[in-house]
Chain A
């Protein structure tokens, strides 16, 4: 039976029936490099080696280490994600999201969204 959802220390990684990868960061989570590596590994497993659009919900996240940020901006993440919609909510997640986009300068096309509907709509354009 195909696995569609994996829970890690800081996130729930899921492959939606639409083909979009969804990573939901757990409330209060503080992500380290090893967390980021684990998340990408699980994304890769669920995506079965295909590059897919990904919705990353960081609304409840509290902090992210720089190593994790730089890892997501690097080549490993590029092999998994085709485009990333970063879903932000309050002040902290918006701050984290802006740091990621502007400082880590991810190799994968990444955009911040405060509306989940808009994020999914944008990602659907990357489904083939």
Chain B
């Protein structure tokens, strides 16, 4: 009798062989049933059962690690597309993935804080620039002790009109000027809003005991002012800044 035919004839050997084949195929949930004879086959199968349990636990741990890693990668991908709303789950195991997840979450928090600080800084800079620009857009230049000139350039909106009034009144109070020349040569459009703002400023200046001379009135502006029906009777007007200054100095 050959060894092969002997082995094939032993059902216990076949059982061991089949169980090993299952484990090799990756079926780690399979378990062999022991005969209870406590023979060498039972010992082998018992050890193989333990091996299967270990392999199954390893597989479960591997799958859990992959799942955790995927969750972390998802959050990182979100951050890469500027989505800072998600956080990686931190488990109770104190695993390396928990630490990475915790660290990533804290980094996202810092990223958000840095972004907010950057935006705030940007807003502060814009506000400061805006204030500086507003101040520069309504300069008040003293010609002598009693005459100041405010040359206006560009467009005038309601905010700038308020700024003109404020700068003019503050400047007149500070310099004690008696004549304020407002030069609108550089004002691109004079509509009813601008004209009314100038008239209001002139009236306010009068209340301080000073007088406004409006200069730089181009023909089309004069035409527009007439067309708008703006009352300029109490305001002295001159066509050029030069003429306005000459008037103020010889008064």
Query: Which A residues contact B (CB, under 8 angstroms)?
Result: 28, 62-66, 69, 89-96, 99, 103
The list of the 5 closest CB pairs from A to B, nearest first, reads A91-B99, A90-B94, A66-B109, A95-B103, A95-B99
- Contact check, B99 vs A94: say whether CB atoms are below 8 A apart: yes
Report chain A residues within 8 Å CB of B109. Answer: 65-66
Nearest CB of chain A from residue B98's CB, rounded to whole Å: 5
Asked if B15 is at the interface of the complex by the 8 Å CB criterion, the answer is no
- Contact check, A66 vs B92: say whether CB atoms are below 8 A apart: no
- Contact check, A66 vs B110: say whether CB atoms are below 8 A apart: yes
- Contact check, B113 vs A66: say whether CB atoms are below 8 A apart: yes
Bound together, the chains give a CA A73 to CA B154 distance in angstroms of 50
Given A92-B99, A95-B99, A66–B94 Cβ distance below 8 Å? no
Bound together, the chains give a CA A95 to CA B102 distance in angstroms of 7
Query: Which B residues contact A (CB, under 8 angstroms)?
Result: 90, 92, 94-96, 98-99, 102-103, 105-106, 109-110, 113
Report chain A residues within 8 Å CB of B113. Answer: 66
Dominant secondary structure at the A interface: helix
Bound together, the chains give a CA A103 to CA B99 distance in angstroms of 17
Bound together, the chains give a CA A94 to CA B106 distance in angstroms of 13
Q: Which of B92, B95, B105 makes the CB contact (< 8 A) with A91?
A: B95
- Contact check, A66 vs B106: say whether CB atoms are below 8 A apart: yes
**Residue with the greatest number of chain A CB neighbours at <10 A, chosen from B92, B99, B102, B109:** B102
Bound together, the chains give a CA A91 to CA B106 distance in angstroms of 14
